[in-house]
Amino acid sequence: MTRLQNGLYPHQVDGIKFLTQHGRAILADDMGLGKTRQAVIAMNEAAPNGVVLVICPASLKLNWEREIHLVQADDSVEVIGVKGYEVAEPRWVVVNYDQLAKNAERLRAIRWSGVIIDEAHFIKNASQRTSQVLKIVGVSDNKRESVDGPRLVFLLTGTPMPNRPRDLFNLLRAVGHPSARSFLSFAKRYCGAYQNDFGWVTEGASNIAELNLLLKEVMLRRKKDDVLDLPPKIRSWVPVQIEAAGAWKSYEEFLGWLGNSDPSRPNDTEFLARITKLRVALHKAKHAACAERIKDVLATGQKVVVFTCYSEGITKHKKALGDKAVTITGSDSAKERMAAMDAFQKDPEVQVALCNLIAGGVGLNMTAGTHVIFQDLDWVPANHLQAEDRCYRIGQNQRVTVEYLMADGTLDGYIAQLLETKLKLVQAVESDELPEASVLKDLQAMLQKLGPALLQEVRAGKAQGATATRIEAIGDLVAALPQDSPLLETGSWEFPSSSNPKQS
């Protein structure tokens, strides 16, 4: 390993050793710690011959081609689905999740020396792409059959548990862990599974300490504050006063509908349509405040990355900012996203990156930015963490400020509490030191109170007893923040950086 240590951080050397020794393993380092580099080097060390498959999101295919050539310039790399990257006898084959089914016959016919699954949390749900991935790595639908596939399977993700313990099941299946042979057994043990009138509910958490220990058998996770000397990252909830009549009307209409709906006959389509209408209204109502914050940051001479959940905001910001801004959305090709990222990183005239939260939240290096603004709040904390760390990663030498714009007294207040509770659960499962029992008890109480999402509460069953109480509690949570909220006392809510817990 001496030759390979040149240019590597010590944690990367340890990560390479972990992958090569375990064979099938999950590398779950914080975003920005160089998981791609570690996986490429580990694969070249452990499987110097044969063909290696990389499965990743479409937006990251060309980034993988670039990273492979940075490690091994002479290796031939085929990128499936990208013109000009066809190779007759490749050493590496890069394919995105959405093209697995189309190329299934070819991919399954090859005897892979190794497989790398990037952004592995993409396989957390039961889906066709998950099924395709599991078949490629030799996981059978028959739980009695052992894993039969490549010896080397590296799962890379900065967020192994985006929401709740059930998200871990397919990752553990992919690495052949015995706890993942039966989902129902796993759910009963670690997801607090219970039955209602509609079947098994597996959205909870149980035996968190045991799950924490189980993960350590197959997963290596390092935090930035443990391995790097990065400047601090400060998160702040920034209250935004909503004055638009349309936003308040949508808010009142949603609460009225939710209160009068019959939980015993859930209408998911109508629910999603109404809550989307409300979130879009909040998005529009916060646009002016977001535009003002962008101007404030640019006045200081810093670059800023803005994340939204809806394209309308990106379009309006781009029209106002012109050539000062680049955009990254789901409709962009891999080449267009790379070009936008490079312009933001290298061109002093490009000061703003306007990104869709999902499309721009993974696989991009935007360390030229020192300020991150979220115009909208997503239900999943992992989406926010991934997006934050486009700026907060190796190569960053300045403090990163992250601002979440929150419409005070609206649905945003509920989502903010939900995000924080889910984040605490994620940290408890992934932490190096087991949390105290009292912390776990409080956490499970909060999860039970908040529920995994409004939709799950509406689905929970007939509006009787505890279920009716929970639905009523959600209405209270949506209506206002708790009276002891630091937000109401100070006007902002700052979280210390993971790099510097004492920073406030």
Backbone phi, then psi, for 24, in 5-degree steps?
A: -110, 115
List Cα–Cα distances, 387 to 263, 316, 377, 404, in angstroms: 35, 21, 12, 12
Q: What was the pLDDT predicted at 262?
A: 65
Q: What was the pLDDT predicted at 487?
A: 36
Q: How far apart are CA 421 and CA 190, in angstroms?
A: 17
CA 359 to mean position of chain CA atoms: 11
Q: What was the pLDDT predicted at 458?
A: 39
- Going by C-beta distance under 8 Å and a sequence separation of 6 or more, which residues neighbour residue 82? 61, 62, 334, 335
Q: What is the pTM of this model?
A: 0.64
Instruction: Convert the pLDDT of each residue in 366-417 to its tens digit.
Output: 888 888 899 988 877 778 888 887 877 777 777 788 888 887 677 777 777 7
Q: What was the pLDDT predicted at 456?
A: 44
CA 416 to mean position of chain CA atoms: 16
Tally Cβ neighbours within 10 Å of residue 231: 16
Q: For each of the domains in the chain, give its residue range(s) and CATH number, in order of start.
A: 3-177+218-224 (3.40.50.10810), 233-495 (3.40.50.300)
Q: Give the position of tokens 């706890």.
A: 179
Closest CA to 133 of 98, 84, 181, 161: 98
Rounded (to 5) percent helix, strand, coil in the chain: 45, 15, 35
Is 434:212 a contact under the CB 8 Å cutoff? Answer: yes
Q: How far apart are CA 60 and CA 71, in angstroms?
A: 17
83-103 burial, b at 16+ Cβ within 10 Å, e below that, comes to eeeeeeebbbbbbbbebbeee
Closest CA to 136 of 91, 103, 179: 103
Q: What was the pLDDT predicted at 318?
A: 93
Tally Cβ neighbours within 10 Å of residue 300: 9
Is 425:164 a contact under the CB 8 Å cutoff? Answer: yes
Tally Cβ neighbours within 10 Å of residue 127: 13
Q: What was the pLDDT predicted at 331?
A: 84
Nearest 5°: the CA angle 349, 355, 359 is 135
Read off the tokens for 99. Answer: 């093209």
Q: Give the position of tokens 């801004």.
A: 325
Instruction: Please list the residues that pair with 96 across neighbouring strands.
Output: 56
Question: Which residues of the chain carry a pLDDT beneath 70?
Answer: 1-6, 59, 143-144, 258-259, 261-269, 361-363, 408, 431-504
